[in-house]
Structure 1
Amino acid sequence: MSETPFDPTVLLSDDLLERFRERAAVHDRENTFPDDDLADLKAAGYLAILVPTELGGAGLGLAEASLLQQRLAGAAPATALAVNMHLVWAGVAKVLADRGIDSLRFVQEGAVTGEVFAFGISEAGNDLVLFGSDTDAAPRPDGTYAFTGTKIFTSLAPVWTQLGLHGLDTTSDDAPQMVYAFVPRSDAVVTRDDWDTLGMRGTQSRTTELHGATAPADRVVRRLAPGPNPDPIVFGIFSVFELLLASVYTGIARRALDLAVATAQRRTSKRTGTSYSQDPDIRWRIADMALAYDALPPQIASLCRAVDEVVPPDGRWFSYMSGVKHRAVTMAKAVVDDAVLVAGGSSYFASAELGRLYRDVLAGLFHPSDPESAHSTVATAWLGPLDT
């Protein structure tokens, strides 16, 4: 007897999503953080969906979280992308725990009690991403680390309580070492008010300055040699980050496709007197959108299940992850472009939902893995590394 399919409407009802959708327009227009959305998500237990039930969470897997994020992104892309960064750390904690590593249990416990975890990895000009850092991680005799540097695109900037980040230790006996840790908000952390962007405005992904921000000894979770590394925390961050990002942009694509279909069924051609849904060119365009969209949810689901089921990664795992993220964001942009063409001039107004989705979806190209990195990773998987 098969298991009952997961129902994402239990956590994200249609009524709740409609409230999110109405607020999304306001936060986009006013460039503000969706505090009410976060409060509703907290009340629904959303921040702990990836935490085991025995710790007070919902006990969901990455596959279920992906479906929820697709659904949330269809209503409020910026809210989905912001909470995505918290879910990444909760997902990494789950990946490690599923593999017998309990070093991020405090993340799981914190998610249940209302802690909000932000993602402090991105740095201007650092194309090494997980494999290097311009942030200084200075060790102290008591086992703590002081971080000094600048992180960019820190989603959840106004509300996070714990910042998961990395830095480079250049002074210890075994230096250099990449240090992964969590720092709380303090006077040593400065959040710039610099988030004035084309889209995804509600994420408030502001720049974060670290001036000796201290990670307690028990929140220093990994020390690794710089460069490519098969360590479980690298595997966890890369996998969860890419899959949940792909989920958000796939959710945006689905909403754009739904809006295009609704518009085609509603509008009537003055020239023919028939519904636009009967126009061969419109039908071809919507079919093309659907052909592109339909491929992504099964791919994401399959990879999520592989992570949930602790399938041992093969030599092409990183190419699978970067590849599905790349396909999702390029597909989503193409689908939104076509949806705008189907909808016509009304979508050109900033207040139009499709106009907002058109701007929001552009952010997908800037997240790691960017197109260059994705192609390099896949080329290496198929052709081997470049000659040195």
Structure 2
Amino acid sequence: MIAEEILPDELLDRIRSRAADYDRNNSFFHEDLQELAAAGYLKVFVPEPDGGLGLGLEAAAALQRRLATAGPATALAVNMHLVWTGVAHVLAARGDHSLDFVLQEAAKGEIFAFGISEAGNDSMLFDSETTAEPRDDGAYSFTGRKIFTSMSPAWTRLGIFGKDRDAREGSGELVFGFIERDTPGHETLSDWDTVGMRASQSNTTLLHGAVVPPERIFRKLPVGPHQDPLIFAIFACFETLLAAVYTGIGERAFTLAVEAALRRTSAKYGGRSFAQDPDIRWKIADAAMAMDAIETHLSSVARDVDAQADHGAQWFPKFVGLKVRATENARTMVDLAIRVSGGSSYFRGSELERLYRDVLAGIFHPSNDESAHTTVANAWLGPLES
């Protein structure tokens, strides 16, 4: 099954036609989500016998890359649903069925979102500022503030984590679980008024003692770095699918650059197109080679996850390296497209103007540039000496 069959041109055209209004109005992509759900897109990782597409990470990355060429903010938000279902898929393929219920519920139409990020928490998955308080019945109540909760208007299941500070003889324990939309004790703020990626509506979520029952608590981990399969699966899906979205943005920008070079004419070259300008030709050629490289890189990493390749300690450097390379490459592509397209792209409402704002979000997603370089340096050189 190829990406064009699941996301036909007609569907992409409709998504692209709505993107500008979503951005202008700072509104959620309800129509896109309805059409994607109807196409079975939210069941990419759900096994075929359960009514899903039964695909792996490489195929999902190709789909997200294609979707992002039409609606970057739509693709970025849908990523969060695909991350959780992808994590369940990656774990199940390795014999860990602790999140099978995620795939079962996705098959029934539930929509998952990612309530993990916290302001100032550089440790990401290895520590939390949210309090997870154990209850006598095995449930936990969560109190804290989660930022960048994409899909805020639409999720029916929110994956969260927090820290039980008294567990493990006072060293603390990280507790992961899911709340449902009708669970008391959570609040969504209307604070998503950003430069770009506006349709994602990644609002802040406040947890006011939201209770996760024991059957929805799916992991308890020590504070600090560790090699639990859940952490591997989250990094694998989050970073790879994120890289796919930004690769799609870069691909669209490159397409617009080529179209502009062929469309614009130059008096310097006797009214011929800018495609005859040696400097423009160099820029386009350079960009084409960069796109070939990142597309191959993305497919390679995703394919290795599907094949359960053994990269050992190099897995995490591969994931963060892919994310940084993809987001930076996308920024380069958008910048080049604007230079080739000329001053018209500087006006509000042009697609490139919107891509210019959307692509900036790439620098804020984990792992950021500094964290990624630390991870890669540690893998090759060992940690800094104290």
Q: Which 5+ residue runs of structure 1 have no aligned equivalent? A: 1-5
The alignment partner of 2:176 has SS state of: strand
Amino acid in structure 2 at the alignment position of 1:318: F
Structure 1 residue 136, shift from structure 2 partner: 0.3
Q: Which of 206, 214, 217 lines up with 1:217 in the alignment?
A: 214
In the TM superposition, residue 114 of structure 1 has moved relative to its aligned partner by: 1.1
1:57 alignment partner, SS class: coil
Taking the aligned partners of 1:194 and 1:235, their CA distance within structure 2 comes to 31
RMSD of the TM alignment (CA)?
1.0
Distance in 2 (alpha carbons) for counterparts of 1:296 and 1:114: 33
Determine the structure 1 residue equivalent to 2:285. 287
Per-residue Cα deviation, 1:28-59 (whole angstroms, up to 9, x for no partner): 00000000000001001111111111222110
Q: Deviations over 1:141-161 (max 9, x none)?
A: 111111100000000011111
Contact 2:184 2:211 in 1 (8 A): no
Equivalent residue for 1:276? 274
CA–CA separation in structure 1 for the residues paired with 2:16 and 2:336: 21
Q: Does 1:351 align with 2:346?
A: no
Percentage identity across paired residues of the two chains: 56
4+ runs of 1 displaced by more than 3 Å? 172-175
Question: What corresponds to 2:368 in structure 1?
Answer: 370
Partner residue, 1:129: 124
Counterpart CA distance in 1 for 2:280 and 2:131 is 55
For 1:75, what is the secondary structure of its paired residue? coil
Are the counterparts in 2 of residues 138 and 171 from structure 1 also a CA contact under 8 Å? no
Partner of 1:299: 297
Q: 1:233 maps to which residue?
A: 230
Gaps of 5+ in 2: none
SS in 2 for 1:315: helix
Q: CA deviation at 1:313?
A: 3.5
Deviation track 1:311-365 (CA, whole Å, cap 9, x = no partner) reads 2341111000000100000010011001000001111112000110000000001
Distance 2:231 2:65 in 1: 24
* Between 137-146 and 87-96, the greater mean CA deviation after superposition: 137-146
Q: Does 1:180 align with 2:176?
A: yes
Q: Secondary structure at the match of 1:295?
A: helix
CA offset at residue 187 of structure 1?
Answer: 3.4
User: So what's the TM-score if we normalise by structure 2?
Assistant: 0.98
User: Which of 31, 39, 45 is residue 50 of structure 1 equivalent to?
Assistant: 45
Deviates more, 1:137-146 or 1:242-251: 137-146
Cα pair 2:176 2:220 within 8 Å, conserved: yes
- In structure 1, C-alpha distance between the alignment counterparts of 2:120 and 2:48, rounded to whole Å: 40
Contact 1:265-1:275 within 8 A present in 2 as well: yes
Q: Could you tell me the TM-score, scaled by structure 1's length?
A: 0.97
How far apart in 2 are the matches of 1:174 and 1:115?
A: 37
What letter corresponds to residue 17 of structure 1 in structure 2? Answer: L
SS of 1:20's equivalent? helix
Instruction: Measure, in 2, the Cα distance between the counterparts of 1:289 and 1:174.
Output: 55
Alpha-carbon separation, structure 1, partners of 2:376 and 2:95? 30
Distance 1:167 1:289 in 2: 43
Match of 2:200 in 1: 203
Single out whichever of 185-194 and 349-358 deviates more from structure 2.
Answer: 185-194
Aligned pairs for 1:29-108 (under 5 A) are 29-108=24-103
Indicate if the aligned counterparts of 1:50 and 1:58 stay in contact, CA closer than 8 A: yes
Contact 1:180 1:220 in 2 (8 A): yes
Matched, 1:262 2:259: yes
Question: Structure 1: how far apart are the matches of 2:187 and 2:244?
Answer: 31
Partner of residue 249, structure 1: 246
Deviation of 1:106 after TM superposition, in Å, equals 1.1
User: Do the aligned partners of 1:137 and 1:167 also contact (CA within 8 Å) in 2?
Assistant: yes
How far apart in 1 are the matches of 2:234 and 2:311? Answer: 14
2:330 to 329, 332, 340: 332
Q: Distance in 2 between matches of 1:321 and 1:172?
A: 31
- Bigger Cα displacement from structure 2, 243-252 vs 107-116: 107-116
User: What's the counterpart of residue 15 of structure 2?
Assistant: 20
Distance 1:41 1:250 in 2: 20
Task: Give SS of 2:345's match.
Answer: helix
Give, as a single letter, the amino acid of the residue that structure 2 aligns with 1:144. Answer: A
Query: 1:387 and 2:382 equivalent?
Result: no
> In structure 2, the residue corresponding to 1:194 is in which secondary structure?
coil
User: 1:173: how far off?
Assistant: 5.1
Q: Secondary structure at the match of 1:101?
A: coil
Q: Which residue in the other structure is 1:169 paired with?
A: 164
